[in-house]
């Protein structure tokens, strides 16, 4: 029998299944989170995202201890911008576009300091890092193959921003048949109202494309997984 633990979640308990569950950390990158970075240069309040880091670091540690697969994503583009559609490139403030120089290197360009993940959540050996050119982590990436090959069916989704890359990825995953739990205190938006409504949207209508629970509900379940004999 496959060990499975139900996490108290909305709109109903969410099954975490040993060996079939992955923790996804979406775009916890310096460009989005750090003061002086791309996100702040667009006028955003990065403190709204930074408050996600401590609970997410705790959840990450629990997932690692439980042997749960960990996948990090980074939004960004090739230095020559060949993978950035003109419609994406032309958006934003004229002086702060993808590829322009920023405080932490060229904005959202692979290999630049700002493109990488914040130190507190840095991937460790054995963890998957998916570089994605879009908002959704499945678009133009190897994520689907990686999850399929690992036999993953349950996703614990975290990261930033709630209403953009977290939502897009959760919707993509739901359409591909994954069961997705969005961890409410481990996702963040620059806009408190988008955070609130973004979470409401996931779990509305009987869980239209997912479940929602706080890390305080998920962590005990992860700890429990390790105590169940397989």
Active site residue 88: no
Which contacts of 12-18 are long-range, i.e. CB under 8 A and separated by 24 or more positions? 12/206, 12/207, 12/211, 14/154, 14/179, 14/181, 14/211, 14/213, 15/154, 15/179, 16/154, 16/156, 16/181, 16/218, 16/221, 16/222, 16/225, 17/153, 17/154, 18/225, 18/228, 18/230
Q: Does 164 bind ligand C5J (CB under 6 A)?
A: yes
Map the footprint of ligand C5J across residues 32-91, applying CB under 6 A. Answer: 32, 75
Provide, rounded to whole angstroms, the least separation between the CB of residue 62 and ligand C5J: 23
Active site residue 135: no
**Which region, judged by CB under 6 A, interacts with ligand C5J, from 2-10, 14-22, 147-155, 158-166?**
158-166
Cα 19 from Cα 26, distance rounded (Å): 21
Q: Is 7 or 108 the residue whose CB approaches ligand C5J more closely?
A: 108
**Which region, judged by CB under 6 A, interacts with ligand C5J, from 43-51, 86-94, 156-164, 204-212?**
156-164
Q: Does 109 bind ligand C5J (CB under 6 A)?
A: no
Binding-site size for ligand C5J (CB under 6 A) equals 8
Q: Does 18 bind ligand C5J (CB under 6 A)?
A: no
Map the footprint of ligand C5J across residues 201-230, applying CB under 6 A. Answer: none
- SS3 assignment, position 69: strand
Selecting among 132, 180, 186, 203, the annotated active-site residue is 132
Residue in 27, 31, 40, 179 binding ligand C5J, rule: CB under 6 A: 27
| Cα–Cα distances in angstroms (integers) from residue 175 to residues 35, 37, 149, 169, 170, in the given order | 35, 33, 18, 10, 9
Q: Is 28 or 152 the residue whose CB approaches ligand C5J more closely?
A: 28
Q: Does 165 bind ligand C5J (CB under 6 A)?
A: yes
**DSSP characters for 164-195?**
IIIHHHHHHHHHTT-EEEEEEEEEE-SSHHHH
Q: Is 21 or 73 the residue whose CB approaches ligand C5J more closely?
A: 73
Cα 156 from Cα 175, distance rounded (Å): 16
| Active site residue ranges | 27, 132, 165
Which stretches of the chain bind ligand C5J, using CB under 6 A?
27, 32, 75, 135, 160-161, 164-165
């Amino acid at each position: 029998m496959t060990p499975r633990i139900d996490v108290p979640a909305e709109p109903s308990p969410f099954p975490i299944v040993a060996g079939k569950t992955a923790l996804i950390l979406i775009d916890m990158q310096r460009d989005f989170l750090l003061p002086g970075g791309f996100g702040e240069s667009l006028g955003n309040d990065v403190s709204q995202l930074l408050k996600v880091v401590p609970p997410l670091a705790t959840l990450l540690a629990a997932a690692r201890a439980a042997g749960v697969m960990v996948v990090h994503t980074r939004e960004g583009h090739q230095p020559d911008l060949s993978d950035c559609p003109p419609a994406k490139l032309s958006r934003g403030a004229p002086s702060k576009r993808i590829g322009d120089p920023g405080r932490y290197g060229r904005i959202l360009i692979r290999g630049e300091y700002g493109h990488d993940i914040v130190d507190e959540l840095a991937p460790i050996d054995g963890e998957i890092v998916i570089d994605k050119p879009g908002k959704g982590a499945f678009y133009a990436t190897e994520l689907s193959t990686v999850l399929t090959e690992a036999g993953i069916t349950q996703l614990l989704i975290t990261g930033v921003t709630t209403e953009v890359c977290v939502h897009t990825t959760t919707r993509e995953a739901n359409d591909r048949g994954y069961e997705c739990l969005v961890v409410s205190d481990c996702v963040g938006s620059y806009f408190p109202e988008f955070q609130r409504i973004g979470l409401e949207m996931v779990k509305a209508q009987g869980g239209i494309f997912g479940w929602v629970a706080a890390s305080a509900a998920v962590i005990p379940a992860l700890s429990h997984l390790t105590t169940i004999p397989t």
